[in-house]
Amino acid sequence: MSCIGRKGQAVIDTTIKGFVTDSDSKVGLSGRVVSKMGAATARAVVAGLFGGAGNAIQSSSLTQSTSALGTTAIIDSGDLVKASIGGGLSEGARTLNELYLDLAKQATPVIEVAAAKKVTVVISEGKELEIKEFDGEEL
């Protein structure tokens, strides 16, 4: 439970045991579930598309030769800029893809509750509340 004073400072900030309920008398509040995972996932897909385009640009500038000693890739000097752009685009897109996938994994759904909704707070275990002091004054 957190209570804020008139100056915006935490006056009471402690853990309590209990729950909140609204008019349906069930534990928790009814509301609309909002998930932010979709946007991050869509951005990861777009980053993956750019990575694929970068790989395609880079691959189109390479000439591969296969011999008994193995496979070698050769870049013509005229295609050096094309290969650099493709490689940079691919690497940047890969980094963005990883970032957006991490954000999607961290996103948790949020329950939107109407403003000024009347709720009942049920405290199941008593606890002594400590009121904090600031600048020598009680708030």
Check whether residue 49 and residue 75 sit in a common domain. Answer: yes
Which residues does 60 contact at the CB level (< 8 Å), separation at least 6? 82, 86
pLDDT category, 134, cuts 50, 70, 90? low
> Which is nearest to 30 in space by CA: 117, 133, 102, 92?
117
> Which is nearest to 89 in space by CA: 61, 127, 68, 113?
61
Check whether residue 74 and residue 131 sit in a common domain. Answer: no
Give percent of the chain with pLDDT exceeding 90.
1
76-127 pLDDT, tens digit each: 777 778 888 888 888 888 888 888 888 877 777 778 888 888 888 888 998 8
Q: pTM (2 decimals)?
A: 0.44
In a domain? residue 118: no
Domain span including residue 59: 36-112
Check whether residue 11 and residue 66 sit in a common domain. Answer: no
Using CB atoms within 10 A of its CB, is residue 33 exposed (0-12), middle (13-18) or buried (19+)? Answer: exposed
Q: Which two tokens stand for residue 34?
A: 């909002």
Number of domains in the chain: 2
Q: Please give the single-letter amino acid code of residue 99.
A: L
Q: What is the mean pLDDT of the chain?
A: 82
Check whether residue 78 and residue 135 sit in a common domain. Answer: no
Q: Quote the Cα angle for 134-135-136, to 5°.
A: 90
